[in-house]
């Protein structure tokens, strides 16, 4: 009998998962439809690009510079065990541009932006502001969701580009100032090994991550219920689900780019 | 489209059903509001008042039933057709539901700019005029809603509702949370503005003083059905035990409160 109960619990969890996935896919479909259909709220989209992009620069920049610096130190120490300490510049730039730049910037934005979107839209939901938008003949998907999706999708690649440059500079500073490497040689090694495909694959990842970050913020905020506690739960859910999806899609896209 | 005849009710609802999970909230609502008239729906908490108004506005999708505005079915409308119907209506929400990211005048002008495509400069003028009509001074136009008292926020909400000069006005608990003087002022503003616009009004409230003051007729909702409807003047001698218990605020009577839900 206990075995059947256990199976019933597994079944319920699985059905709840399918239901949530279905809701999310329908929400994403509706959001995509409103992305391409007028009217477009250009001013709000630009405002969101500033909020998401410009105001995230310090946190993304700090993350990138320390990651690049730590990477250089670790590769030097680890690489010295098999005489590969001379490859610090190459490993730093490829790691930052292909992997760490997009993923770390996206995870930082999941914490900063996805939570802010979920809290803002969630508060609007529980205070009936979204209902008020509708009664004023304004579609909340066009007014609230679409501008944030466009802004995050366009802005994160730009942020990642900045993070890549700052991350490489972090590696450069650690290598030249701490490890005593030659500055000119370091930069030459960096530029020699870097290929356009490394940059484009990283930026493509960033665009997808940006979309996921805004989607999770909007989805959980839009569906929040039950006052302050509901908004709090929506904020947490947005950050957690955005982070998990970033890591999942990072694997899927990396696998795709390799193949 | 031809203009609807004079005899066609402005709002007509029939057989409206709505269920949330196992809970049947609306179990066949039937009501009509004639053009230019004001109806108040009274009823206890959880009786289905808000769900009714949200279904009429299209904020909730009913499970079954018919909702007609000017004789046109609106229950299944979506997209532009629905937005055109919504442009006819204005709504004052219980908590005012002002956009906290905008200033007071931007809140009032929102419907004019978004739904009526009015240039912002002209919309600001219209917004200031609407604010004057609800007793708000121009000096608060550039303030944020959070800086205003509850009564002032209700006035801004009312100004936002009337600014586009809608044909229908919905009021969700317009006096809840206000002191008696401010509640009286809001009631008078509602009466004046509805009369001036010649609008049809639908108010949901459990404030009997407000219902008697603002409405031509009153309908009582209980367990998802309209159990009594008549002129506001008749509500005190309705002969309906449910209505009598409700308006006299008796704890004993046929109405059984769902304490767990309340």
Per-residue pLDDT reduced to its tens digit, B95-148: 899 999 999 999 999 999 988 889 999 999 999 999 998 888 999 999 999 999
- Tell me which chain A residue has its CA closest to the CA of residue B101: A120
Give chain B positions within 8 Å (CB) of A135.
57, 59, 86, 89-91, 170
Q: Do A134 and B58 touch (CB under 8 A)?
A: yes
pLDDT, one tens digit per residue, over A72-116 is 999 999 888 888 878 999 999 999 999 999 999 999 999 999 999
What order do you get walking across the sheet with B23-33 strand by strand? B23-33, B11-20, B64-69, B72-73
- Tell me which chain A residue has its CA closest to the CA of residue B110: A136
Spell out the residues 6+ positions from residue A121 whose beta carbon is closer than 8 angstroms to its own: A130, A144, A217, A218, A221, A222, A224
pLDDT at B185 over 90: no
pLDDT, one tens digit per residue, over B49-96 is 999 999 999 889 999 999 999 988 988 787 778 888 888 899 999 889
Domain ranges of chain A: 1-37, 41-258
Mean pLDDT of A131-135: 92
Percent share of chain A, pLDDT over 90: 87
pLDDT, one tens digit per residue, over A199-252 is 999 999 999 999 999 999 999 999 998 888 999 999 999 999 999 999 999 999
- pLDDT of B251 reads 79
Residues B246, B241: Cα–Cα separation, whole Å: 9
The answer, for B171 touching chain A at a CB cutoff of 8 Å, is no
- pLDDT of B7 reads 77
Q: Do A129 and B59 touch (CB under 8 A)?
A: no
- pLDDT of B257 reads 65
- pLDDT of B258 reads 56
Mean pLDDT of A192-201: 93
Residues A57, A60: Cα–Cα separation, whole Å: 5
Instruction: Count other Cβ atoms within 10 Å, centred on residue B116.
Output: 17
Instruction: Tell me which H or E stretch contains A151.
Output: helix A146-173
- pLDDT of A226 reads 84
Average pLDDT, chain B: 88
Q: Do B111 and A127 touch (CB under 8 A)?
A: no
**CB < 8 Å from B in window 107-136 of A:** 124, 127-129, 131-136
Mean pLDDT of B175-190: 85
Percent share of chain A, pLDDT over 70: 100
- pLDDT of B128 reads 95
CA distances from A7 to A2, A13, A14, A18 (A): 9, 10, 10, 16
Q: Do B89 and A131 touch (CB under 8 A)?
A: no
- pLDDT of B261 reads 44
The answer, for B20 touching chain A at a CB cutoff of 8 Å, is no
Q: Do B57 and A132 touch (CB under 8 A)?
A: no
The answer, for A200 touching chain B at a CB cutoff of 8 Å, is no
Least confident of A167-171, B177-181, B235-239: B177-181
- pLDDT of B1 reads 46
Split at pLDDT 50, 70, 90, the class of B206 is: confident
The answer, for A43 touching chain B at a CB cutoff of 8 Å, is no
**Residue whose pair of structure tokens reads 């690009």 in the numeric block:** A49
Mean pLDDT of A142-171: 96
The answer, for B160 touching chain A at a CB cutoff of 8 Å, is yes
Among A252, A219, A221, A212, which residue's Cα sits nearest to residue A109? A212
| DSSP class of A87 | G
- pLDDT of B262 reads 39
């Amino acid at each position: 009998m206990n075995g059947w109960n256990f199976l019933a619990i597994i079944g319920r969890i699985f059905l709840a998962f399918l239901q949530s996935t279905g809701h999310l896919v329908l929400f994403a479909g509706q959001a995509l439809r409103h992305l391409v259909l007028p009217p477009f709220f250009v001013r709000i989209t630009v405002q969101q690009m500033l909020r998401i992009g410009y105001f995230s620069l310090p946190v993304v920049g700090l993350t990138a510079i320390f990651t690049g610096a730590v990477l250089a130190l670790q590769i030097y120490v680890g690489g010295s065990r098999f005489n590969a300490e001379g490859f610090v510049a190459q490993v730093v730039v490829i790691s930052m541009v292909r992997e760490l730049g997009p993923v770390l910037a996206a995870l930082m934005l999941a914490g900063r932006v996805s939570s802010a979107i979920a809290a803002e839209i969630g508060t609007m939901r529980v205070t009936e502001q979204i209902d008020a938008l509708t009664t004023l003949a304004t579609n909340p998907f066009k007014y609230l969701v679409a501008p944030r999706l466009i802004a995050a999708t366009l802005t994160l690649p730009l942020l990642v580009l900045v993070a890549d440059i700052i991350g490489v500079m972090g590696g450069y500073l650690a290598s030249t100032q701490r490890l005593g490497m030659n500055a000119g040689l370091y930069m030459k090694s960096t530029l020699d090994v870097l290929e356009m495909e490394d940059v484009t694959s990283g930026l493509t990842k960033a665009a997808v991550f940006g979309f996921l970050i805004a989607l999770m913020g909007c989805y959980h905020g839009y569906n929040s219920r039950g006052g302050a506690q509901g908004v709090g739960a929506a904020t947490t859910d947005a950050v957690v689900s955005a982070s998990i999806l970033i890591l999942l899609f990072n694997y899927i896209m990396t696998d795709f780019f390799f193949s | 489209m031809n203009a609807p005849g004079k005899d066609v009710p402005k709002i007509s609802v029939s057989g409206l059903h709505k269920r949330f999970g196992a809970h049947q909230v609306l179990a066949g609502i039937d009501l009509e509001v004639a053009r230019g008239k004001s109806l108040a729906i009274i009823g206890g908490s959880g009786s289905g008042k808000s769900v009714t108004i949200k279904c009429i506005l299209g904020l909730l999708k009913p499970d079954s039933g018919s909702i007609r505005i000017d004789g046109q079915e609106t229950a299944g409308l979506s997209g532009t057709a629905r937005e055109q119907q919504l442009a006819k209506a204005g709504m004052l929400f219980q908590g005012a539901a002002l956009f906290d990211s905008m200033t007071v005048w931007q809140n009032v002008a929102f419907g004019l700019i978004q739904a009526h495509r009015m240039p912002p400069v002209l919309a600001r003028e219209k917004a200031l005029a609407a604010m004057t009509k609800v007793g708000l001074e121009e000096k608060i136009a550039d303030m944020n809603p959070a800086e205003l008292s509850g009564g002032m926020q209700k006035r801004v909400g009312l100004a936002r509702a009337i600014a586009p000069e809608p044909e229908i006005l919905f009021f969700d608990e317009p006096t809840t949370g206000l002191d008696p003087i401010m509640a009286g002022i809001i009631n008078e503003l509602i009466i004046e503005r509805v009369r001036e616009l010649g609008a049809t009004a639908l108010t949901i409230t459990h404030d009997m003083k407000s219902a008697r003051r603002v409405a031509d007729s009153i309908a009582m909702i209980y367990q998802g059905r309209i159990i009594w409807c008549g002129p506001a003047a008749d509500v005190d001698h309705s002969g309906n035990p449910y209505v009598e218990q409700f308006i006299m605020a008796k704890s004993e009577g046929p109405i059984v409160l769902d304490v767990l839900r309340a």
